[in-house]
């Protein structure tokens, strides 16, 4: 059943590409008497029927970006989501304002719900936020950054990625975290921390890192705490890179739960780091 525009705008199950879906549904059901309420959907129906690129160049260009699902789509959608104007986005993405406008109206209808909501999180980021990011979820991670509502941060996240990406690289998330990366440690840590599941129970390695972080807070002096925290961040980044690239194949040593606080936090940290070094060696 095809829903009217106003119903689509409030339906929690409506995806951002609902106008494009409506146009495709009309093509599939020629007997359907439904007439789209907006011009961009009417034009999409005509484009899908005729495949006339010359008559509908903006729809053709927008649909190609959407279907290719590459870096262009990831950046375009993130910039729409963060609230940048068509002119700003066109400048960043090397597109015309008309293509950006058509994409936002036809294939990524989030501006009608641009205030923070569960709908945006569900449809712009989706499962990776709840169950953990995979290496191919770059578009979803950029959408998550966009949902923070700060264009200057999103600009830095995208600019840094393009600077790090090599011509021979596959555009995946682990580019941010690979050894020798020039990406700032601050950004790497944010990415390393947010790629893990927010929904499923913690794995053995997650619990190990929770313990690791808590131990850094138990060290006797601020200087020791700071040094240990810096090492924790480096180890967390290495671990996240191994997870993203599918190299994590061994578990940490089993620990008894509800143990008393260790007498020597540094020795406990060294034990954890020894396990992590073994993991790195085993995965190399």
Per mean pLDDT, which range of 113-117, 192-196, 264-268 is the poorest?
A: 113-117
What confidence score (pLDDT) does residue 4 get? Answer: 52
Residues 131, 169: Cα–Cα separation, whole Å: 26
Chain segment 4-21, per-residue pLDDT in tens:
555 666 677 889 999 999
What confidence score (pLDDT) does residue 31 get? Answer: 67
Among 133, 70, 82, smallest CA distance to 110 is for 82
What confidence score (pLDDT) does residue 269 get? Answer: 86
Q: Are residues 82 and 188 in the same domain?
A: yes
Q: Given a cut of 50, is residue 206 above it in pLDDT?
A: yes
Cβ neighbours around 67 below 10 Å, total: 10
The mean predicted confidence, pLDDT, of the chain is 87
What confidence score (pLDDT) does residue 1 get? Answer: 45
Show which of 194, 224, 252 is a domain's final residue: 194
Q: Are residues 38 and 11 in the same domain?
A: yes
Chain segment 142-187, per-residue pLDDT in tens:
999 999 999 999 999 999 999 999 999 999 999 999 999 999 999 9
Query: What range does the domain containing 265 cover?
Result: 204-283
Show which of 125, 160, 194 is a domain's final residue: 194
Chain segment 17-42, per-residue pLDDT in tens:
999 999 998 888 876 667 778 899 99
Running DSSP on this structure, what letter comes out for residue 173? G
Distances (CA, A) of 69 to 22, 40, 63: 20, 21, 10
Assigned domain for 246 exists: yes
Q: Are residues 68 and 173 in the same domain?
A: yes
């Amino acid at each position: 059943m095809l829903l009217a525009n106003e119903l689509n705008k409030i339906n929690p199950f409506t995806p951002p590409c609902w106008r494009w879906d409506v146009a495709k549904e009309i093509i599939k059901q020629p007997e359907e008497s439904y007439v789209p309420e907006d011009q961009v959907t009417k034009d999409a129906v005509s484009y899908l029927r005729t495949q006339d690129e010359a008559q509908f160049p903006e729809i053709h260009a927008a649909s190609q970006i959407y279907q290719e699902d590459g870096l262009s789509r990831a950046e375009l959608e993130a910039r729409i989501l963060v609230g940048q104007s068509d002119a700003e986005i066109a400048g960043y993405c090397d597109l015309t304002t008309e293509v950006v406008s058509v994409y936002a109206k036809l294939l990524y209808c989030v501006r009608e719900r641009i205030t923070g909501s569960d709908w945006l999180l569900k449809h712009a980021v989706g499962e990776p936020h709840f169950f953990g990011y995979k290496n191919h979820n770059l578009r979803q991670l950029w959408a998550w950054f966009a949902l923070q509502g700060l264009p200057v941060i999103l600009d830095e996240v995208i600019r840094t990625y393009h600077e790090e990406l090599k011509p021979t690289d596959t555009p995946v998330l682990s580019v941010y975290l690979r050894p020798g990366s020039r990406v700032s440690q601050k950004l790497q840590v944010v990415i390393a921390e947010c790629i893990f599941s927010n929904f499923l129970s913690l794995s053995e390695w997650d619990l190990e890192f929770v313990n690791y972080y808590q131990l850094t807070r138990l060290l006797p002096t601020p200087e020791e705490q700071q040094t240990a925290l810096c090492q924790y961040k480096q180890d967390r980044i290495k671990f996240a890179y191994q997870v993203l690239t599918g190299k994590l194949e061994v578990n940490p040593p089993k620990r008894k739960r509800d143990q008393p606080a260790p007498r020597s936090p540094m020795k406990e940290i060294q034990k954890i780091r020894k396990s992590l070094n073994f993991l790195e060696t085993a995965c190399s």
